[in-house]
Structure formats: structure tokens, C-alpha cells
Amino acid sequence: MRCVIFTGAGDNEVVEIVERPDALAGDEEVLVAVSHAGLNPADLSQRAGRYPAPPGFPADVPGLEVAGTVVACGSKVTRWRVGERVFGLVGGGGMAELVAVHERAVAPVPASLDAIGAAATPEAFITAHDAIRTRGRLAPGDTLLVHGASGGVGTAAIQIAVLAGARVLGTVRSDTAAGLVRSLGGEPVEDAGFAAAVDRLTEGRGADVILELVGAVHFPDNLAALATRGRIVIVGVGAGNATELSLLGMMQKRAELHGTVLRARPLEEKAAALRAFEREVLPGLVAGRLRPVVDSVYDVSDVRGAFDRLEGSGKSGKVLISFAP
């Protein structure tokens, strides 16, 4: 099978495409034939040597998600048959033509999604759903503020929140991003001075949940933009890690700050996130009310170009690579 590997730590010079022996399904695993694979910011951290794969996953093959067709089932698999389409999460090794994944870490792909749509879905929608619903407890009538609204997780979060009866504000830095946020049912807000805009738009109430996909640059304004009893959920820190925080401000708003990441979770917690995704997100995908946003698809031979696109600004949704002929 072909797969993408990192030959060491660095930038694109460590990215190669190689032939490896085909992956094999363990007893409780399905083997998935992959035509398209999604890239994620965490892959960039791994490329830089800052985010090694957890034990039990290929150490040098990036890729945190999988979508495709089951081509083999381990002896103890009960949920799936050969020929069914599945998608889900892996701790690494997703950028390969064959991926072995635990049967409880995948969900069924709805007929509404083609191969590209399926590949663009799992990490974005599971991460967004876990962050805003499971961690942030977003409820109908709440206001969600999304920082990083035009990426894969951001575009998924806007749609999930709108479908859940929430109002969604998304910070943007361009007219293109503003149009994207609007097209998904959200309200674009200028990134510069967002706290004042949120205050005005919510008539002083603030956002009940803030999804932070960008980083420390939005602090301390995030606390200013938060409603009493609001929840800030940190999923990405590409634009800054260390921030000054007012503990008294946290007390006065009775605020919650949650850090979260999917990759490092043990199987049972990943599986729980998949079941929650099946329950609350999959019906919206089946009905076509939720749709993954695809920025671009690169042939695997140009995977370095895909990484450049992922790293740059101005994306609208997911960046994918294709193994298809």
C-alpha cells in the first residue's frame, strides 16, 4: 500500500510517499480501503516533531481520521461486513491506502456523502461536536462564538450549533470567510475587536460557549465576550499557547475553561465520542442538513502542496489528499 510518512522532524522536506506492506486487521478491527484522507493541524505538529503518535499506532504515518470501504474484518468484529462504508478516528496512520481501525471507533457513512465528503467529515464533525456539545454543553437558545470559523472544525461547528437551535457568531478576517460563515447559517464578526461586537450583538449577555480553534491571541477578550456561566473550549492553539488569565474574572462570570483533544484518548473514550456523534450528528448528515466543507483535494503525489495549503491562511473547510488513480 502507498502511504505518507514523516522521515524525521521538520517541514515539508521530511514528507515522503512510500510503499509499505498492507495493513492488517486485528481481531476487533476492520480494514478500510481509503480513497481520500483528511489533513489536520495536529499533523503539522507531528511533522514538527512536537506531537508523537500514541502507543499502538504507526509512529511515522500521519493522519488522524479514516473514511472508506471495509475490505476485511477481524475475527471478533460484530458491527460491520465487507463492503460497508465507514468513517472514524485513528491515533495515527490515516494517510494510507489501507487503515486498520477498531470497529467501535467508526460509524456508518450515510449515502448522502460521496468519497470526498466522507473523508472530510470525521475529525471535523466529531471534534466540533465533542467540543461544543459534550464539553461545552451547548443548548438551544445559547449563543456560540467560533474562532477559526472557516476551517474544517469551524465550519462543522457552525452547522452543528445552528441545527441544535443555537445562534452562531464566527470571527473572520476576510470577505470570503464572512460569506462562508453566512452561508452556513452563522453571523460573521470581525476578528479585530470581537469582544465589543459580541457584547453589542448579544445586548450585553455574551456568548454561552466559545470554541477556540486559534489560540491565545483571543485572550483576555474571550473572557470579556463570555456570558455568565459560559464555557470556553480550547481545541487549537496554533496562534499562541501561553495567555494571561484573570482568575477573579473567571469567578465573577462563574466561567469554565476546558482544554480538549481527541487523539490522546483511550479507545473507550474515542468510542464514546463516536457514539455521541452517531446519535446527534449523523442524522443531520443523513438528511443533508449538515454537509462537510471541502477546501481542496490534492493528489497524494502532491501531499507537500496539501500541507502548504493546510498551513496557509484563507482556507474554506477541509484539505484532503487523494489515493484514487
**Which residues are at the interface with a second copy (CB under 8 A)?**
212, 215-216, 234-235, 237, 240-261, 264-265
- Nearest CA among 120, 86, 126 for reference residue 103: 86
Shortest Å, Cβ 225 to a second copy: 15
Question: From the centroid of its chain, how far is CA 289?
Answer: 18
Judged by beta carbon, residue 112 or residue 243, the one nearer a second copy is: 243
Q: Which of 34, 38, 51, 10 minimizes the C-alpha distance to 309?
A: 38
Coil, strand or helix at 174: coil
State which residue, 42 or 113, has the beta carbon closest to a second copy.
42
Look at the alpha carbons of 260, 56, 54, 60 in this order and tell me if their dihedral is positive or negative.
negative
3-class SS of residue 235: coil
Which of 82, 5, 67 shows the shortest CA–CA distance to 35?
Answer: 67
Choice between 182 and 265, CB closer to a second copy: 265
Distance CA 272, CA 107 (A): 11
Query: What are the residues whose beta carbons fall under 8 Å from the beta carbon of 158, sequence distance 6 or more?
Result: 144, 146, 149, 168, 170, 181, 184, 185, 186
Minimum CB distance to a second copy smaller for 219 or for 307: 219
Write down the least CB distance from residue 41 to a second copy, Å: 12
Minimum distance between the CB of residue 132 and a second copy, rounded to whole angstroms? 15
Which residue shows C-alpha cell 497524494?
300
Return the number of the residue (148 or 215) whose C-beta is nearest a second copy. Answer: 215
What minimum distance in Å lies between the beta carbon of 256 and a second copy? 5
Task: Output the smallest distance, CB 266 to a second copy, in A.
Answer: 10
Shortest reach from residue 254's CB to a second copy, in Å: 5
Shortest distance in whole angstroms from residue 135 CB to a second copy: 8
Three-state SS string over 95-114 comes to: CECEEEEEHHHEEECCCCCC
Residue 195 to residue 198: CA distance in whole angstroms: 5
254 or 289: whose CB is closer to a second copy? 254
> Is-contact 71 98, C-beta < 8 A?
yes
Q: Which is nearer to a second copy, 141 or 259 (CB)?
A: 259
